[in-house]
Chains A and B, each alone.
Chain A
Amino acid sequence: MNQVLGDKRAILILLGPALLMYSLIMVIPVVWSFGYALFRGNLIEGFTYVGPANFVRLFQDEQVASAVRFTLLYTLVISTGQIVLGYSLALFYTFVLRRSSNLIRTLVFFPVVLPSVAVGLLFSRLFAVAPNTGPVESLLNLVGVAPFDFFAGAGTAFWVIVIMDLWRSMGFYGVLLYSGLIDIPVEILEAARIDGARGWRLIRSVVLPLSLPVLVSAVIFSLNASLKVFDTIVALTNGGPGYQTTPITLLMFQTSFVYSSFGYGSSMAILISVMCFAVTAFIFKYSRRDLTEGKAA
């Protein structure tokens, strides 16, 4: 039995291709990126060894600091929005609509499958002021707001990004968290209700703790996705006005391919990875104490 289940040749045939692809596309390039970070230059000019200079520059570069600040602010706002809206939707599906929630769940979910560039371009037109006054601008004008360009100011551009990304993802988080809510045993809710827990109190003391594992997974996923935001912002504002809506991922892309500095770009890639790892490890560790099952991610 174990001879067959441990057949060396079969292991090689089944695992070999995957392991080869994984090594070539993931493992080697990751190690290589760490190497690149110690050099300055690009493919055309060649590379010179500069040691940790790229990392020193990383911490002094005002543009990096502003991109990191933007990314963190974006992540904070978007992840909070995604979890709050998603959880509200999930509660709405589970407790108000109950069995008839299928259609509305399906409907609110769909934007997440749309190509992100298409969504970005759509929202740039929805909020446009020229050449044609878009729907949002028209409605604002109707209630007496003077015409202005959403994409001319960093603040308003930021909020358009937030609205777009929440529009895109809230249904997704609704479904994600809903899958945690419907797993709560009915008996527990009945028991809590008999003990006098109602409404908000029932949600806070019974529903929330019981759906915590799924909630933690959703938070980790949301934070990671937000820290790596790229497509929608490229399509909507392309980092503008100026660099004011440039996340660190876009800055890394521009540094590498517009300014052709592979070494500096690699050090930014490492920064992105470190940010994702740190956030995940933090949430994981922090939430573990409360988790009875402790298998969130």
Chain B
Amino acid sequence: MAGVVRLSPPTTLHKTAGSSWSSAVQKFARGIPAKLLILVLLVIDVYPVFWLVSTSLKSTQEFLNTPFWALPRSLAFQNYADAWTLGRIGLSLQNSLVVTIPSVVFILLLGAAAGFTLEVMIWKGRNTVLLVILGGIMVPVQMILLPLFTIYFKIGLTNTLWPLIFTYIGHGLPLTTFLMAAYFRSVPRELFESCTLDGAGILRSFFSVGLPMVRNGLLTVALLMFFSTYNDLLSALTFITSRDKSTVQVGLLNFQGEYGSVLYGPLFAGICMTVLGTLVVYLFLSRQIMQGLAGGALKG
């Protein structure tokens, strides 16, 4: 992390004759607005999630009859069981992973290969191809929704998860290709040239040298693509017509529509499970996730 900026003047210049004790008090007093702001941020960000978890453990009676700040009297884990089976959260989570994991793997594989070909290899017309692919970054999903629906409908895929996988791969490719090309640009060209001199074919240098060299980039892009795929609603709502195939986002929406005004506890438990699932991932990879999401936005 280059250059952490300091705004306050160097303390030595401003030290008055006062004792170290009073300067400590002053220092503390100056820190109060900052601490207050941190406290406010903490409450704003954490409280809704805390309330969600606490409410998800209340029984329906308790939810209706106690004020919002009351903690659950007994832990109604039955809510979670109901959400899992009745609300089909378990099935939705499974569907989401079945869609997301292959999508991300193929986006990365195809995008890295394309980025490598467009950045490292030398051939006529590569700038044109790069430009055509970059144009895709600007295309909203709405532009491809209806024709794709027609295609999937005609070839009978509308009740499977395939349409989602295909759509996510196609729509994720432009940004991935662009980002991967940028990562390959920062690998010294001499590396690939010396590979070639050592007798390696270009495919070999891609798989054994190129991919390992950009592994940080791969992880960053993978996280970006994971969250944009996992959290997608529009495509999932369009292409999945069968209840058994709904992803987490569509599943939650259906659950709310069907039982939302009766089974309060289980609905909260369902929301809670999907939220905590992503939070656990975030807990372990927060730095890379922040880097990936911010990087995708800056370069996209």
Please give the residue numbers on chain A whose beta carbons come within 8 Å of chain B beta carbons, in ascending order: 1-2, 4-8, 10-11, 13-15, 17-19, 21-22, 24-30, 32-33, 36, 43, 92, 94-99, 104-118, 121-123, 125-126, 131-135, 138, 167, 171-172, 175-176, 179, 181-186, 189, 193, 202, 214, 217-218, 221, 228, 230-231, 234-235, 249, 252-253, 256-257, 262, 265-266, 268-270, 272-273, 276-277, 280, 297
Contact = CB atoms under 8 A, between A and B. Distances in A.
Given A25-B170, A43-B153, A186-B3, 11 more contacts: A6-B122, A15-B114, A22-B174, A33-B144, A107-B41, A114-B275, A118-B252, A134-B68, A182-B1, A235-B233, A249-B234
27 contacts: A5-B202, A7-B201, A10-B117, A11-B117, A13-B203, A14-B121, A15-B118, A18-B114, A26-B170, A26-B174, A27-B132, A32-B146, A32-B147, A99-B4, A114-B279, A115-B230, A115-B274, A117-B250, A135-B47, A138-B67, A167-B48, A230-B233, A235-B233, A235-B252, A269-B140, A273-B138, A273-B143
Task: Give 3 nearest A-B pairs by CB, closest first.
Answer: A25-B170, A32-B147, A18-B114
Contacts of B202: 4-5, 7, 10
A173 B121 CA distance: 36
A179 B231 contact: no
A265 B113 CA distance: 35
A115 B68 contact: no
Contacts of B261: 131
Contact of B143 (A13, A115, A184, A270): A270
B32 to A, nearest CB: 12
B3 A183 contact: yes
Contact of B264 (A110, A131, A167, A272): A131
A196 to B, nearest CB: 12
Contacts of B68: 132-135, 138
Contacts of A134: 68
Given A21-B173, A98-B6, A116 B233 contact: yes
B47 to A, nearest CB: 8
Contacts of B142: 228, 249, 252, 268-269, 272-273
Given A109-B286, A269-B143, A214 B4 contact: no
Contact of B298 (A17, A131, A214): A214
Contact of B113 (A18, A98, A252): A18
A115 B234 contact: no
Contact of A29 (B8, B111, B143): B143
A174 to B, nearest CB: 10
B91 interface: no
Q: Is chain A's interface secondary structure helix, strand, loop, or mixed overall?
A: helix
A116 B51 contact: no
B196 A273 contact: no
Contact of B249 (A109, A110, A116, A176): A116
B78 interface: no
Nearest to A111: B45
A126 B237 CA distance: 25
Question: B122, B192, B260 — which one has the most chain A CB atoms within 10 A of its CB?
Answer: B122
A121 B167 CA distance: 26
A183 to B, nearest CB: 7
A231 B174 contact: no
A6 B5 contact: no
Interface string B140-161: 1111111111110100000000
A25 B46 contact: no
Nearest to B267: A121
A259 B177 CA distance: 37
A25 B139 CA distance: 11
A132 B153 contact: no
A21 B150 contact: no
B253 interface: yes
Interface string B33-61: 01001100110111110011001000000
